[in-house]
Amino acid sequence: MTLKGWVIYNGHLPGPKFKDFAEWIREAGEKQGTDIAIIPNDHLLSFHAENGPTILQKEKTNFPDFVLYSDKDIPLARTIETMGIPVFNSSHSIELSDNKIETYQRLAAHHLPIPRTMVAPKVFSGSLQAETFLSVPEFFTFPFVVKEAFGSFGEQVYLVHTEEELQQKLLDISNRPFILQEFIETSYGRDLRLNVVGDQVVAAMERTSDNDFRANVSAGGIMKPHTPTAQEKELAIQATKAIGADFAGVDLLFGKDGYPIICEINSNAHIRNIFDCTGINVADYIVSYVLNQVNRGKK
């Protein structure tokens, strides 16, 4: 019997960029003889009552054998898991990846190389004062990175050079959760993106920017294919496993002497840029890995 899948994406994000992944997954499924339907998250409503959790569907179909989750709607993913349907990536790994505070906590617990990171205390209203951090002897020297817990495309990542800049940033961030982080200056405008699927690095690129410390392509970074070292590959795989993801786009920074340092793990990495850069279609690897896992009944 052939397996049937769903790929769930967020129905309320602007532009085609967010549906891209879902379409590539559906096509990869077609090539591999599996029907994968594309479904926006808001066509599926988590419903809970005494007879258990379920999903109310807009277009009623049979529940699938597996779900590929291209969204960050954690409660929906969790309901689907509770119904016994395997979800890739798991809701827990997406949650850890989405929240940079939880990501670094997990990586540090695994003793993996990360920039030294301090988590800002929670505030309910107003904002913290620069003084909270500057009086700590372990504090980093300027410049250092301020990073919001939730963000992408480099848009919520800042480099602060002075106490005044820090104070202004704290005001801008207000009561949103954030971290302060050592600036890896050997990686200024330069990083690596490794795409991990299962136990394998399937594609890699280097990104460089001439005019910004952030190397994100959406922030102006230029891509070039990269052949990862054994150490880089190992680290990207360990990082992916540390958050319990089945596949991920892992960003690595260049430490001293090129020593790799984990920057972040994207459980919901877009795959068009890496395809444009390397010609490698990560969706093919993801679908074949997922079908393998489901067939083996591993999840």
Ligand X SMILES: Nc1ncnc2c1ncn2[C@@H]1O[C@H](COP(=O)(O)OP(=O)(O)O)[C@@H](O)[C@H]1O
Rule CB under 5 A: which residues touch Mg ion? 251, 264
Partner whose binding site includes residue 241, from Mg ion, ligand X, none (CB under 5 to 8 Å by kind): none
SS3 54: strand
- For ligand X, the closer CB: 36 or 252: 252
Residues that contact ligand X, how many (by CB under 6 A): 23
Count the helices and strands in the chain (H runs, E runs).
9, 15
Choose from ligand X, Mg ion, none: what does 153 bind? Cβ within 5-8 Å by kind: ligand X
Q: Smallest distance from the beta carbon of 264 to Mg ion, in angstroms?
A: 5
CA torsion angle 230 203 239 74 (round to 10): -170
Q: What residues contact 182, with CB distance under 8 A and at least 6 apart?
A: 115, 116, 117, 140, 144, 145
Binding mask 107-136 vs ligand X (x if CB under 6 A, - otherwise)? --------x---------------------
Supply 28's token pair.
């990869």
To ligand X, the closest distance from the beta carbon of 100 in angstroms equals 6
145 interface partner picked from ligand X, Mg ion, none, CB below 5 to 8 A per type:
ligand X
Give whichever of 120 and 262 is closer to Mg ion, judged by the CB atom.
262
Binding-site partner at residue 157 among ligand X, Mg ion, none, CB < 5 to 8 Å by type = ligand X
| Contacts of 18 by beta carbon, 8 Å cutoff, 6+ apart | 9, 10, 70
Binder of ligand X out of 65, 73, 95, 191 (CB under 6 A): 191
Q: What is the CB neighbour count within 10 angstroms for residue 148?
A: 19
Residue 190 Cβ, how far from ligand X at the closest point, in Å?
Answer: 7
Q: How many residues in total does the chain contain? A: 299
- Phi/psi region, residue 57 (left: phi>0; alpha: psi -120 to 50; beta: rest), is beta
The Cα 78–Cα 90 span in angstroms is 8
**Shortest separation between residue 219's beta carbon and Mg ion, angstroms:** 10
Cα separation, 43 vs 27, whole angstroms: 21
Q: How far apart are CA 135 and CA 184, in angstroms?
A: 22
47 binds ligand X (CB under 6 A): no
Quick check: 262 binds ligand X (CB under 6 A)? no
- Choosing among ligand X, Mg ion, none, which partner's interface includes residue 186 (Cβ < 5 to 8 Å by kind)? none
Is 181 an interacting residue with respect to ligand X (CB under 6 A)? yes
Positions in the binding site for ligand X (CB under 6 A)? 115, 145, 147, 151-154, 156-157, 181-184, 187, 191, 213-216, 251, 253, 263-264
